[in-house]
Amino acid sequence: MSSLLTNHIFAADPSAHVFNDRLYLYVSYDEPYTNTHDSMNCYHSMSTDDLVHWVDHGRILHLDQVDWAVSHMWAIDANFWQGKYYLVFCAIERETSTFKTGLAVSDRPEGPFTNLGTISGVEWGQDPSLFIDGDVPYLVWGGRGAILIGELNPDLSSIKPETIRNLSEQIGGYEGPFLHKANDLYYLTYPALDNEKWPQRMCHAVAKTPLGPYTDLGVFIDEYPGNSGTIHGSVVQFRGEWLAFYHSGWVSGTPTSRSLMMDRIEYQRDGKITPIIPAESVIAREVPGSTHLLVNLDAAAAQQAGGKLYGTHTASGQGSTGHGFVTGLTQQEYGVGVLFQVGLPREYEVWVRYRSTAEHVARVVAGRHLFYDGNQNQSYDQYINRGTKFESTNGDWVDLLIGSHFFEFGDHLIRLSNSHNLPSGQTGLEVDSFKLVPLG
């Protein structure tokens, strides 16, 4: 049965991996309700430990953070290599106006990621995938109607030219490749077209080594009502089940504002994947899907993930849940803002995870609306929630419900600000993260 994973954002090209017994998806981001893929300019990561409760970790890399790129941040992948997490992505290069494959790095699987430059030796490096086979890294990429693979050097910044193979000479692939290993075989999944006739269908091929040769096994996700034209995706084993991830146009009804999908798969005796038939009857376009999702935005990663620090700084450890926490809210308007991106308009609860050794007066502005801080003498009708205070937590981290708000589609800055100057020596609030929980 097909599952709709997200309609809180529009996302595509899901690349799935399991790290530390948790499943992570790395996805490209569709600007809501545009009519072109040219507007794609950033990526998100998502994770789950049970396939039901999902966390969107927010933006992990943006075009503005990639000095060599000018546009078109399309399909991506990520993997763990020599103690760090690496993201491979593609974009149109500023100098040549052609697709290049980029490399970025993070200490944590959810990101955000820091740009390291392009991978040399990869021509027209669109839709890359990073496959690790024991102690050997491989890059698979596509575009211009071809799929290629080659072995990477250990620093991942360049490919060994003598290892490059054009797999389309064997299987007729088009773009969007992804490699996984099952039953001692290497499975290449990829979108394909017949004589440039859209929509794409998901195909697969097998080989005994990553470099091939590959044997074509045909289509396992054929054309279906509600498709988005493209059908990039991935396959992964998690908790004893094999899962296929891809995207559709079912929520928006358009090919350019896409939603993530998941299906359980089986391998037949002849090695083929049993065909998947996406069933729109199990999907409701206007309501949440069958999974539960929240958006968790790490305050310490705010500056890398589209937010901002206002007179404050970050510190690490001490019970924080991500990269650290934000501290130094000692003067009026000192604080932190995080980026919240919305696809389908909806009401969300706004939570803040914080700690303090004393009661404080602070304000939260979300979606251009002010949430009441509980210490205002005047009664302002525009305040969304009255009575909320940042009480002393005796130094423990706590989650505080600020209130709820209906967010339209697009980008929203959620900002927490200190309301007054503190006496010298006082620490003030310290902020770990913001959590957005969809209602209804």
Q: Which tens digits make up the pLDDT trace of 306-338?
A: 999 999 999 998 899 999 999 999 999 999 999
Q: Domain check: are 183 and 325 in the same one?
A: no
Query: What pTM did the predictor assign?
Result: 0.94
Q: Domain check: are 68 and 129 in the same one?
A: yes
pLDDT for res 218: 94
CA–CA separation, 173 and 189 (whole Å) = 9
CA–CA separation, 224 and 81 (whole Å) = 37
| Mean pLDDT, residues 361-387 | 63
More confident residue, 119 or 195: 119
Q: What is the CATH number of the domain that holds 337?
A: 2.60.120.260
| pLDDT category of residue 1 using cuts at 50, 70 and 90 | low
- Checking if the pLDDT of 362 tops 60, the result is yes
The answer to which of 111-115, 186-190, 225-229, 239-243 has the lowest mean pLDDT is 225-229
More confident residue, 300 or 225: 300
| Placement of tokens 């948790």 in the chain | 22
Q: Last residue of some domain: 233, 264, 290?
A: 290
Specify the 3-state DSSP secondary structure of 162. helix
Q: Domain check: are 231 and 98 in the same one?
A: yes
pLDDT for res 147: 95
| Number of domains forming the structure of the chain | 2
> CB of 191 within 8 A of CB of 162?
no
Domain that holds residue 79: 3-290
Q: What are the residues whose beta carbons fall under 8 Å from the beta carbon of 412, sequence distance 6 or more? A: 339, 340, 341, 342, 366, 367, 368
Q: Domain check: are 323 and 390 in the same one?
A: yes
| pLDDT category of residue 79 using cuts at 50, 70 and 90 | very high
Q: Domain check: are 261 and 376 in the same one?
A: no
pLDDT for res 262: 93
- Checking if the pLDDT of 151 tops 60, the result is yes
The pLDDT > 70 percentage for the chain reads 93
Under DSSP, the state recorded for 76 is: -
Give the DSSP letter string of 285-347: TTS--SSEEEEEEEGGGGGGGT-EEES-EEE--TT-SSS-EEE---STT-EEEEEEEESS-EE
Q: What are the residues whose beta carbons fall under 8 Å from the beta carbon of 150, sequence distance 6 or more? A: 121, 122, 138, 139, 159, 160, 161, 163, 164, 165
| Mean pLDDT, residues 50-78 | 97
| pLDDT category of residue 365 using cuts at 50, 70 and 90 | confident
Q: Domain check: are 209 and 65 in the same one?
A: yes
Instruction: Provide the pairing of β-strand 241-248 with 234-238.
Output: antiparallel
| Mean pLDDT, residues 185-201 | 90
CA–CA separation, 356 and 354 (whole Å) = 7
Q: Domain check: are 333 and 240 in the same one?
A: no
| pLDDT category of residue 103 using cuts at 50, 70 and 90 | very high
Q: Domain check: are 43 and 94 in the same one?
A: yes
Q: Domain check: are 66 and 155 in the same one?
A: yes
Query: Cβ of 67: how many Cβ atoms within 10 Å?
Result: 8
Q: Domain check: are 305 and 209 in the same one?
A: no
Name the maximum alpha-carbon separation found in the chain.
74
CA–CA separation, 162 and 103 (whole Å) = 21
- Checking if the pLDDT of 428 tops 90, the result is no
The pLDDT > 90 percentage for the chain reads 76
Q: What is the CATH number of the domain that holds 124?
A: 2.115.10.20
More confident residue, 69 or 422: 69
pLDDT digits (tens, 9 = 90+) for 277-294: 987 544 444 334 446 889
Q: Domain check: are 248 and 147 in the same one?
A: yes
CA–CA separation, 165 and 180 (whole Å) = 17
pLDDT for res 331: 94
Q: Domain check: are 302 and 268 in the same one?
A: no
Q: Last residue of some domain: 290, 311, 330?
A: 290
Specify the 3-state DSSP secondary structure of 168. helix
Average pLDDT, the chain: 91
Under DSSP, the state recorded for 237 is: E
Q: Last residue of some domain: 290, 323, 347?
A: 290
pLDDT for res 421: 87
Can you list the alpha helix ranges (DSSP code H) found in 120-275? 168-171
